[in-house]
Structure 1
């Protein structure tokens, strides 16, 4: 039995030292130390030994088991280290190689123009105000002096959310003028940019959802000359000092007198083209002196105070600023178009 134990020790240690993989090492552990292993088979013969031989052979068997277990543990550590080194070598990163360029987004051309317009008004001392897109009929129409018979109040022109026509998607940001006068009183110098909704057909210059910037100034001694000077300054700041404007008489329920403001078409220089529908001019905003009834509706005495108001289409300003020929391009999110800006 002594010779068998020595043979097991020698054979096991040599085999273990020669393993190249963890699975191979585990198979040897089972071969020598498992329930049906070679060492276990020898230990089953202990019963045939004399009383004097058993302690000696038992001690030797324990020494062989300990030696094999130690060898397995040592070889396992060697194999783990080798596997880690191989993995690190295979996954080596060359930190000197340039990284992949990440495509970053940028500001939409429309919001670029919006920020420029806001800054122009901020420099003039205006305050920027925001309000709800779901609006009350009274703020969107009644308090702005729009009569029940006004075409803009028809279901064919406005997105109503209730059958009684009391709640709607705002058709303009003008309701913020009423809220400003009611909540802040006079004097007032504010603009209110935001989304508005009208049942317009989609074409090169119209969309059922678009952005508008409403403005309001109310104070003592405000005149039409202040209105024209302010709007001309804004248009020249956005389009350039050589921009050409014209003011045409018009009618709005909430202003009197009223006007529409056009800029000479950026595409054809006033000669007429599809963008301006052959007219040579593009309408960009409506304006006028605040109607006395609107001032009274907000508790302001029109004999003491006067003011002007305006509403400009942001998309049309963006079209002129970036020489865009079709408003629909602004909403289509075609990357080939947006990457130009």
Structure 2
């Protein structure tokens, strides 16, 4: 069994898998994963979609740059997104459309008739909205498996049940003790640990950046009327809910962000009830039953932008974390950018400057 590598990536979720796939063939790479299978946490619990307004205008370049690869891989299915505004929120709706329109996103401002035509049973009080025709659903499992398979084809080793237990830094590199009882060494340690990004940094003696996990809840509902298959992803400009159709059912979230420790997240009944209450204020669809509920952790840096780059205090510790809820839709461009930074190459068309960890250095 090989014990020496150029780069060891911590985490085999979408972030670690996509990064490893880009590094494979250019460096010897090991991916270590604490769970029995890759993608157990955030990746495996995502109700993912590709929409350029999600994550904010400073994340949009990563989303836009990822679209071509996602389409080429066949993991996108047309959906469209409709961001609703209540009476009195017209200025917010127009501002939303202007911000993303200025970035080149196709957006259409709709009046009450326009949104009601796309959301059957829309209740009163909803006056306008912004339609994004380019929004798509993402087949997350297929995308994740693509990156894992691509990494393996390029010689990347992936070890599960091998969480990081100890990291010792010396002039010769890193010595890592893993949960499977083995020890491995490498030149560079890449932190793609999601909700565990700051704990991994502490193990490695790096200063945590304040990457905090937040719980997000999703419920699958059976409702007392047919759910249109062409229903858009429906959100609101105040970010208090979203819902979308899924095989005749409805996936619904209260758009919650509840602070959490890094853990195996579980849904809370109060969050499911809150989601249903918010849905009932949008449409007159009777909820017959909750068929399934789950929760995952979305991890944000203090400024809510991802963190890609070498630690300012240790050129052998690399951050690839803080992807929030947009890590799936930005995975292709982020991986290109991250691999280029790790290897000292030019990568893609996205400017890395907004995402480097140096931004957290205080003078």
Question: Normalising by structure 1, what TM-score?
Answer: 0.26
Rg bigger for which structure? 1
Bigger proportion of residues as helix: 1
Question: Normalising by structure 2, what TM-score?
Answer: 0.25
Bigger proportion of residues as strand: 2
* Larger relative contact order (CA 8 Å, sep ≥ 6): 2
